[in-house]
């Protein structure tokens, strides 16, 4: 186990002590170039085939996700056939995320109901460097289970390794993010991503 991975695991244990509903576990995606991640809950796996803007064929999207701290923690990935389409696929992930938030808000993708902040370039240990490897933060309003307005905070990282593109995301109520350790636990999740070697 690498020194940086040990540091992330140690921080996750300390964060869990302050948030007992978290149950951090290591996930290794052997079918996705060996990416390792820490989830604060046990993820379930789903997949579906879909059209992807900027990609010449349908792709099979794999999604791991779980619920913790009133939010959803997810890691999605798809493997492409053509290296020239990686940039389009990464941008497509971000566009789809923004569009989904706007639809949930009942607004158009670039409407004021969705507030977006480009967090700039991100680094995942062992990833393939790419100009479109970026982090984003979105805030949007949607209805909760009772139809009441709920302000959501969504953070996402988009990156690639070879021909595989990834999106890590955390979807939480804004008040949860503002609470104690809200940012720390999201950082633990995102900074746990790493490829072997």
pLDDT of residue 192: 96
What would the pLDDT profile of 100-113 be if each residue is shown by its tens digit? 787 766 654 444 56
For 39-72, the DSSP string reads ESS--EEEEEEE--TT-SS-EEEEEEEEEETTEE
Second-level CATH architecture of 3-191: 3-Layer(aba) Sandwich (3.40)
This prediction's pTM: 0.82
The stretches in the chain having pLDDT less than 50 are 1-19, 108-111
Instruction: Return the pLDDT at 162.
Output: 96
pLDDT at 146: 55
Report d(CA 149, CA 92) in Å as an integer: 28
Q: Which pLDDT score is estimated for 143? A: 59
H or E element in which residue 153 lies: strand 149-161
- Could you give the CA distance from residue 125 to residue 55 in angstroms, rounded to a whole number? 26
């Amino acid at each position: 186990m690498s020194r940086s991975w040990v540091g992330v695991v140690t921080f996750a244990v300390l964060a869990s002590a302050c948030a007992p509903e978290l149950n951090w576990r290591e996930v290794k995606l052997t079918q996705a170039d060996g990416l390792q991640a820490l989830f604060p809950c046990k993820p379930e796996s789903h997949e579906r085939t879909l059209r992807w803007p900027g990609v010449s064929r349908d792709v099979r999207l794999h999604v791991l996700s779980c619920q913790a701290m009133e939010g959803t923690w997810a890691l999605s990935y798809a493997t492409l056939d053509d290296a020239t389409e990686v940039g389009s696929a990464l941008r497509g992930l971000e566009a789809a995320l923004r569009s989904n938030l706007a639809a949930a808000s009942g607004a158009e993708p670039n409407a004021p109901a969705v507030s977006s902040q480009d967090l700039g370039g991100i680094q995942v240990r062992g990833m393939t460097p790419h100009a479109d490897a970026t982090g984003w933060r979105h805030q949007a309003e949607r209805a909760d289970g009772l139809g009441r307005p709920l302000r959501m905070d969504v953070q996402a990282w988009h990156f690639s390794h070879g021909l595989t593109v990834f999106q890590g995301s955390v979807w939480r109520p804004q008040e949860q993010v503002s609470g104690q350790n809200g940012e720390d636990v999201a950082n633990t999740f995102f900074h746990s991503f790493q490829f072997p070697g």
